[in-house]
Amino acid sequence: MSYSGPHFDPPQQRRSRRAPMTFALAALVPGALLGWVVYEGVGRSGADPAGHADAATPRSASGLPGDDAKVASPSATPPLKGKVVVIDPGHNPGNFRHSSEINQKVDIGTNWKECDTTGTATNAGYSEARFTLDVAHRLRTLLERQGATVKLTHDGDEPAWGPCVTERARIGNDAHADAAISIHADGAPEGDRGFHVILPAEVHAGGADTRPILGPSRTLGERIETDFAKVTGSSPSNYVGGGTGLDVRKDLGGLNLSTVPKVFIECGNMRDSKDAARVTSGAWRQKAAQGISEGIVSFLRG
């Protein structure tokens, strides 16, 4: 139905729209061609061969190509990956409850000796066993961060006492450790202070033969002595080692029976007030662990 009124014009004859559309398309073609040429010459300059724009062009924080753009590199291999370190925390917090067990005698090659001892303590009662276990835990964390596989001879609660010095050596041997360290603190008179590292003496008796490990153990000990002094600020012992910070002994089963490079460290004298202030400080114990760690890393990296 059609309608015509005062506000409507009568229907007009429809004209063809083909001519104007043809003209418009003709006008658009040159512009499209020009855009394609610009894209090929400029827009694809940052595209990869497959045509994915900017896939191969690093860009700066501003989003534009720049010198500050960095390409991610693969993660570096941890320096101690593939290395095994055995840490022997001297004594055991539970030893005092097991006097009969720790007093049994074991063969250390040069003679028979007590399975283990309770260790010493500061005058205020902070025990060597607690100290050595704390430093061992800190040291384990540092070495594992470097990629090392770390084994402890005991962890304070397991076993409940010991283990015997013979077993401590065996744990390192069975692990084929690249380095082993036994952590201690001394119980000398007041005024005797400082640290020292104990190296194995040449022993070839009974089940003990330290000859294959003498050279590498000395190198390990020298590296630890140097780095421990540097990191902790402690001085070498003024009562053992003639100021060198090194001592050689053949009466320690943990060294005599070792078939892997191994040393002991006496981190300080717990009965001296100045050294006691250090060993009872958590911040200093962290430095002690760091110094030992750096010495071990230096040894293992050659």
Do strands 105-107 and 112-114 pair parallel, antiparallel, or not at all (unpaired)? Answer: antiparallel
Q: Annotated catalytic, 40?
A: no
* 3-state SS class at 199: strand
Query: Long-range pairs for 141-146 at CB < 8 Å and ≥24 separation?
Result: 141/289, 142/289, 142/290, 142/293, 143/80, 143/85, 143/293, 143/296, 143/297, 145/78, 146/78, 146/79, 146/80, 146/293, 146/297
Q: Which of 222, 225, 266, 294 is catalytic?
A: 266
Q: Encoding tokens for residue 197?
A: 């590292």
What whole-number distance in Å separates Cα of residue 166 and Cα of residue 155? 17
E strands in the chain = 84-89, 105-107, 112-114, 149-152, 179-186, 196-200, 204-205, 208-209, 246-249, 262-269
User: Residue type at 193?
Assistant: R
User: Residue type at 209?
Assistant: D
E strands in 79-156 = 84-89, 105-107, 112-114, 149-152
Residues assigned a catalytic role: 266
